[in-house]
């Protein structure tokens, strides 16, 4: 399939590479010209703007930072809507507000363009090895048509409902991830402050009920003091703002997430906004005056 891929950041670049490896032809676009050049060297082509991308392909995938960026690229001047023809499919794999997904889908549908919201979970490592989890909202027939493409980048691709449902699922995912990292941080700081080896505590609990994918992904990095971003605190703050906005809109109070949000805001104020969200442990370390390490 000929695919347009717009957004070649930490996640988008390895995802697009996996599509090329699977034999798809890509037209790529990003403000980072080095990332574009890297994909062109692998066989992709490029275009001047999103409208030109959309005019050449059957499917446009967007992987962008937040709701305003998606609206600009899809609905704005020289955007996907302007260049796309009836029958085009847009799969927005960004993590954005569910109501914005629905708003964008409505505008596209007026021109005969179908949209899926298909946010991902797994961070950079899973984007690189093609084992992301993809949560999809949209029409069943459209999902069935492009699911094989999505599986080139993922280990799990699940349709959870109509447009917007994919981002609802992603918000639920980000809620669980944030609270898990906070709980892990509390536990490892407690163990260290009490004089125990945090690595041995981690090894002791990881096989029991406290074990989780989050624990296994983040505890070793924390103890090795590796906070280079797989998923930045700034991006998790963005997601948690969408969580809170949505929770307020539907009347679902989320007190734990409100607290974790404030912890992440504190870390951003300390200059750690571009660190991995595992750096949340530094909020606790600062209060306990202790450092968790092997």
> 3-class DSSP state for residue 20?
helix
From 82, 77, 38, select the one nearest 60 (Cα to Cα).
82
- DSSP for 32-83, please give it: -HHHHHHHHTTT-EE-SSHHHHHTT-SEEEE--SSHHHHHHHHHSTT-HHHH
Catalytic residues, by residue number, are 170
Residues 6+ away with beta carbon under 8 Å from 12: 5, 30, 63
From 85, 252, 114, 110, select the one nearest 175 (Cα to Cα).
252
Crossing angle of helices 67-75/98-109, nearest 10°? 10
Judge whether 3 and 57 are in contact, CB under 8 Å.
yes
Element (H, E) at 268: helix 255-269
Structure tokens at 104: 């964008």
- Pairwise CA distance, residues 177 & 107, whole Å: 32
- Pairwise CA distance, residues 106 & 282, whole Å: 43
Please give the torsion angle defined by the CA atoms of residues 251, 115, 162 and 70, in that order, rounded to the nearest 10 degrees: -20
- CA angle centred on 292, ends 291 and 294, rounded to 5°: 125
């Amino acid at each position: 399939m000929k695919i347009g891929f717009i957004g070649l950041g930490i996640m988008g670049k390895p995802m697009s590479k996996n599509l090329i490896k699977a034999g798809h032809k890509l037209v790529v676009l990003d403000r980072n010209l080095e990332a574009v050049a890297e994909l062109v060297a692998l066989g992709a082509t490029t275009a001047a703007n999103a409208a030109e991308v959309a005019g050449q392909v059957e499917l446009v995938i967007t992987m962008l930072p937040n709701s305003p960026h998606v609206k600009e690229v899809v609905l704005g001047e020289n955007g996907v809507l302007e260049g796309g023809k009836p029958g085009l499919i847009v799969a927005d794999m960004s993590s954005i507000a569910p109501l914005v997904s629905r708003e964008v889908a409505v505008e596209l549908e007026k021109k005969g363009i179908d949209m899926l919201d298909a946010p991902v979970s797994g961070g950079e490592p899973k984007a690189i090895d093609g084992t992301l989890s993809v949560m999809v909202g949209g029409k069943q027939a459209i999902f069935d048509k492009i699911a094989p493409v999505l599986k080139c980048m993922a280990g799990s691709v699940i349709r959870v409902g109509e447009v917007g449902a994919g981002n609802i699922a992603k918000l639920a995912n980000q809620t669980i991830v944030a609270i898990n990292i906070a709980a892990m941080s509390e536990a490892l700081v407690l163990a260290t402050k009490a004089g125990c080896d945090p690595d041995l505590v981690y090894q002791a609990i990881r096989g029991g009920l406290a074990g989780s994918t989050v624990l296994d992904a983040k505890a070793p990095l924390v103890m090795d003091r590796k906070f280079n971003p797989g998923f930045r605190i700034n991006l998790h703050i963005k997601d948690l703002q969408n969580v809170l906005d949505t929770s307020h809109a539907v009347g679902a109070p989320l007190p734990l997430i409100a607290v974790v949000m404030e912890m992440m805001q504190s870390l951003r104020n300390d200059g750690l906004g571009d660190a991995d969200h595992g750096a949340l442990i530094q909020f606790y370390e600062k209060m306990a005056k202790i450092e968790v390490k092997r």
